C-alpha cells in the first residue's frame, strides 16, 4: 500500500508550498543509501566526474578523495547508480508526484546532500527554479532525511507560502547562487525531521540550510519531479532530466 495524500494535504501543499510526510523511506532503505555512498567512494577515481562534489572548505586542506566526510554532494545518482534509479520508481514517491503534478512526470534531478560535520557550508537562500528555470513552475522536490536532522546540524529552513510570490531575483555563482533579498526571521520555519521523513517543497519555495555545527552527520536525499506541461527556459545552469516515466 502506498501513501495517498488527503485533500487537506494537497490543499496545504498548494497553499503553503510544502508538506511533511513521515516515514516515506524505511530504515532498511536508508541503510542501503548509506552503503551505496560507501561503495561509490570506494570506487574513486573510477566514477563519473559529475557524481561527486567535494566541500569547498576542504580546498587547500589535507583531505582524501575517498573520504565521505569531505563530500558536499552526490549528484545525478539516478543516471549513474541503479539503486537510486529504482528508488525514483518507489510508489510513495512516484504516486505522490503524479497526485501533485499529473499522470506524466519526469525526474528532474537527484542529489545526496551530505552536509558533513564541522567543515560544511550553508546552502544560501534560494528557489530551486532559479536553477531549473522551468515554465510553468510545475515541479517539486522530496527532501528526505537520512540522519536525524536538527537546527544544529543543518535542517531545512523554509518560508511557507513564498512560492506564491513567483520567481524572485537571484545572484551569485555555483552553489552560492541565491536570492538577492533574505527573508525576515519571523517568516522562517525550520523543519527538523527523523530518518525516512520527507519534506515536499514546491520549486519556487524559498529555502536555506545552515552549516552543520555538530559532530553528527546530516545526510539527505533530494528527488525533484516535474509535470509534462513544463518547458525548460535557457539560464546559466544547463541540466538534463534524469528519467522520464510512462
Ligand atoms: O540539503 C541541503 O543542504 C540544501 C539542499 C538544497 O536546498 C538544494 O540543493 O537546492
What DSSP letter does each residue of 212-234 carry, written as one string?
A: --SSS---EEEEEEEETT-EE--
For ligand 1, atom 6, the nearest C-alpha belongs to 123
User: Any idea how long the chain is?
Assistant: 246
The H or E element containing residue 245 is none
What are the structural domain ranges in the chain?
10-229
What's the pTM value of the predicted model, to 2 decimals?
Answer: 0.96
Q: How far is the CA of 220 from the centre of ligand 1 (A)?
A: 9
pLDDT in tens, 92-131: 999 999 999 999 999 999 999 999 998 899 999 999 999 9
User: Is the omega angle on the peptide bond into residue 166 within 30 degrees of 0, that is, cis?
Assistant: no
Tell the residue nearest (CA) to atom 3 of ligand 1: 209
Write down the mean pLDDT value for the chain.
95
Q: Within 13 Å, how many C-alpha atoms sit on residue 187's CB side? A: 14
Q: How sure is the predictor about 45, in pLDDT bands with cuts at 50, 70 and 90? A: confident
| Cell numbers representing residue 99 in the block | 497526485
Could you read off the pLDDT of 187-234 as tens digits, one per residue? 999 999 999 999 999 999 999 999 999 999 999 999 999 999 999 998
| Residue 135 CA, ligand 1 centroid: distance in Å | 21
Q: What is the best residue among 74, 143, 150, 198 to mutate for testing ligand 1's pocket, by most ligand atoms within 8 Å of CB?
A: 143
Which neighbouring-strand residues pair with 221?
112, 144
**CA 152 to ligand 1 centroid distance, Å:** 15
Q: How is domain 10-229 classified at the architecture level of CATH? A: Sandwich (2.60)
Dist CA 244 CA 228 (whole Å): 10
105 with 245: CB under 8 angstroms? Answer: yes
> Which ligand 1 atom sits closest to the C-alpha of 141?
10
Per-residue confidence (pLDDT) for residue 58, from 0 to 100: 78
Amino acid at each position: 500500500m502506498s501513501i495517498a495524500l488527503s485533500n487537506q494535504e494537497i490543499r496545504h501543499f498548494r497553499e503553503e508550498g510544502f508538506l511533511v510526510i513521515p516515514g516515506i523511506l524505511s530504515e532498511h532503505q536508508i541503510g542501503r543509501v548509506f552503503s551505496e555512498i560507501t561503495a561509490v567512494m570506494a570506487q574513486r577515481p573510477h566514477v563519473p566526474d559529475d557524481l561527486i562534489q567535494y566541500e569547498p572548505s576542504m580546498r587547500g586542506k589535507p583531505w582524501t578523495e575517498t573520504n565521505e566526510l569531505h563530500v558536499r554532494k552526490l549528484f545525478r545518482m539516478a543516471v549513474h547508480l541503479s539503486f537510486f534509479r529504482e528508488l525514483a520508481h518507489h510508489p510513495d514517491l512516484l504516486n505522490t508526484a503524479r497526485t501533485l503534478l499529473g499522470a506524466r512526470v519526469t525526474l528532474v534531478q537527484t542529489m545526496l546532500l551530505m552536509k558533513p560535520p564541522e567543515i560544511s557550508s550553508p546552502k544560501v537562500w534560494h528557489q530551486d527554479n532559479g536553477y531549473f528555470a522551468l515554465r510553468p513552475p510545475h515541479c517539486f522536490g522530496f527532501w528526505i532525511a537520512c540522519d536525524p536532522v536538527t537546527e544544529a546540524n543543518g535542517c531545512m529552513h523554509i518560508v511557507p507560502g513564498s512560492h506564491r510570490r513567483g520567481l524572485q531575483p537571484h545572484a551569485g555563482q555555483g552553489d552560492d547562487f541565491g536570492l538577492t533579498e533574505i527573508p525576515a526571521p519571523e517568516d522562517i520555519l525550520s523543519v527538523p525531521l527523523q530518518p525516512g521523513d520527507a519534506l515536499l517543497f514546491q520549486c519556487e519555495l524559498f529555502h536555506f540550510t545552515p552549516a552543520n555545527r555538530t559532530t553528527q552527520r546530516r545526510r539527505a536525499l533530494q528527488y525533484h519531479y516535474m509535470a509534462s506541461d513544463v518547458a525548460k527556459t535557457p539560464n546559466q545552469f544547463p541540466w538534463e532530466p534524469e528519467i522520464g516515466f510512462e
